[in-house]
Amino acid sequence: MAHGASLHFNQDPLDILEWDKFDYLVPEFGAAGAGAFLPDEADTAARLRALAKTMVFDPGAQDPGSNMPAPYTYLGQFVDHDITQTTAVGATSPDELIQKTEVRPLDRHEIRSLLRNRRTSGFDLDSLYGLQPPPDETELAVPFTGDRFDLGTVVPVGNRPPNKDDHNDLPRVTDPKSPRFREARIGDPRNDENTIVAQLHLAFLKFHNAVVDDGFAFDDARRLVTHHYQWVILTDFLPRVCDPTVIRDVLQHGTRLYRPRGVEKFMPFEFAVAAYRFGHSLIRQTYDFNQNFRRVPGVGLQSVGSLELVFEFTKKSGDLDGHPTLAENWIIEWELMFADRAMPIDPTLTPMLATLPKETDPMKFLAARNLLRGYLFALPTGQALAAAVLPAEKRLTLAELQAACRAPDRPDEKGQWDVLKELELHERTPLWFYVLAEAKAKGNGNHLGPLGSLIVAETIVGLMQANPTSILNVSFIPTLGPRPGQFDLQDLLMKAGALSRRVAE
């Protein structure tokens, strides 16, 4: 599409793309019946909580991680917040239900009617640009000056990373008398729940402003930003997290699993509640965040770049360490982050994710939360879904599942496989756990396996195909990077002025 064309994004995207439903990729399991699901029994929730405890593991700061540069963990989170947010309609929220001692699965037909998706699902960056006006009083309007986003400024405390100016925080409520003091004024408040995704959101704000500074009016700038973002997802992010053969097949032959029924597009439960939550296993306990906060302690460092601090220096998960805005010594250095590596995709999570800030049990224990949500939403087991959509040779065998389980830390401790068998979940395995184990067994922890790749690739490609203004439906070649016809996350950050140079992987 030529630069001069305009899609007039000032119209509320919800008026264009009514993707507000959740549904199942595989709605029925025929003869498998109840055997396709976790047991509907009084002790199943307790068994899932016990399984969750086996998933907490810290390999130490020296662990090299996977092949994936660390920033893609948080690009994945940014994408998630752009396309999905589960909201109950006039009923008790799912999070309230899973906090009960006895959790039982909801009826699948009931779930479809009770839940809605607050995001537009079309990869149109409503999480960045916001819905205008905000849908309710709980959401702050995204601030603009002319066609440019307003940016927040950092607090001077010393040790600012080199070549960083004052405008390196999200725009925030700065009136100390306001009950919303320090809150980020952004399209999705969840992008202020850790400092890395917050700094990535900031980079997207700057990316838009850079395009406006090139002479484009707001609508054209938004179109270019959105299309380059979609290009990054399809050509940079998906090939890193999915099996490349699955990506090629889906792009060449279309989706066969994600098939919107009738005219209604939907967000698949198998994607939002299980497969796409693979990103939680990528999270490190420590990061090379900037020159002040590094993964391995060194001379002159203020502190280790711990996940606890990454949460603290936000408003949603912390309190900005008491400052009104971000402290200048916490401006990210993406050059260091790209040299760092995400953790492997496997059935383990870093210990910090067992004690999430500003949450109560079991919500603060992320592994338990994910497993209980999958049970509550009546997701099929990994084995049942794999049998329904994959040829036999691509399904995870019991031997592969066992090999993917974490060995015991001590001789007197049970291994993950022993617990899985003891809980009788080794042949009826929660879908999220199965996807993580499959990634380790068949992708060596560097990318998803056959089932996880199929769910993630087909959902993302299918939703993008269903958006009539996406790059899968209009002619588009990236023009904003230094390499003709190419554009990736590093190019986006360089255009935004957030990354000074390409980092070798």
H or E element that contains 303: strand 303-304
Q: Is the pLDDT of residue 3 over 50?
A: no
C-alpha–C-alpha distance, residues 15 and 166, integer Å: 37
Write the Ramachandran bin of 85: left for phi over 0, alpha for psi from -120 to 50, otherwise beta.
beta
Closest CA to 195 of 320, 355, 342: 320
22-64, pLDDT tens digit by residue?
A: 999 999 998 788 899 999 999 999 999 999 999 998 776 567 7
Query: Poorest-confidence range of 112-126, 213-227, 447-461?
Result: 112-126
pLDDT above 80 (res 298): no
- Per the DSSP assignment, residues forming a β-bridge with 145 are 148
CA–CA distance, 451 with 358 (Å, rounded to integer): 34
List of residues 6+ apart from 312 with CB closer than 8 A: 318, 319, 320, 321, 357
**Angle at CA of residue 267, ends 18 and 430, nearest 5°:** 165
104, 41 Cβ separation under 8 angstroms:
no
The answer to whether the bond into 189 is cis (omega within 30° of 0) is: no
pLDDT tens per residue across span 56-112? 987 765 677 899 999 999 999 999 999 998 877 765 677 777 777 678 999 998 888
**Rounded Cα–Cα distance for residues 52 and 433 (Å):** 9
Whether the per-residue pLDDT at 260 is higher than 90: the answer is: no
The neighbouring-strand residues paired with 204 are none
Distances (CA, A) of 366 to 124, 305, 312: 28, 21, 17
pLDDT at 182 over 50: yes
Contacts of 194 (CB under 8 A, 6+ apart): 74, 307, 310, 311, 314, 317
CA distance 219 to 225: 10
Alpha carbon distance 54, 367 (integer Å): 9
Query: How many of the other CB atoms lie within 10 Å of CB of 110?
Result: 11
Lookup result for tokens 């838009």: 208
- With beta carbons less than 8 A apart as the criterion, state whether 322 and 316 touch: no
Beta-carbon contacts of residue 19 (< 8 Å; ≥ 6 apart): 117, 120, 121, 122, 265, 266, 267, 463, 466
**Backbone phi, psi, residue 341, to 5°:** -125, 140
User: How far is the CA of 76 from the CAs of 33, 62, 109, 456, in angstroms?
Assistant: 34, 24, 30, 11
- Mean pLDDT, the chain, rounded, equals 90
The residues near 248 (Cβ < 8 Å, ≥ 6 apart) are none
Q: What distance in Å separates the CA atoms of residue 174 and residue 176, rounded to the nearest whole number?
A: 6
Confidence label for 292 from pLDDT (cuts 50, 70 and 90): very high
- pLDDT of residue 264 exceeding 80, the answer is no
The fraction of the chain above a pLDDT of 90, given in percent, is 76
Q: What is the pLDDT of residue 14?
A: 37
**Residues 199 and 330 sit within 8 Å (Cβ to Cβ):** no
CB 432 within 8 A of CB 377: no
**By percentage, how much of the chain surpasses pLDDT 70?**
91
DSSP track, 181-215: TT-B-SS-GGGGSSHHHHHHHHHHHHHHHHHHHTT
pTM of the model: 0.93
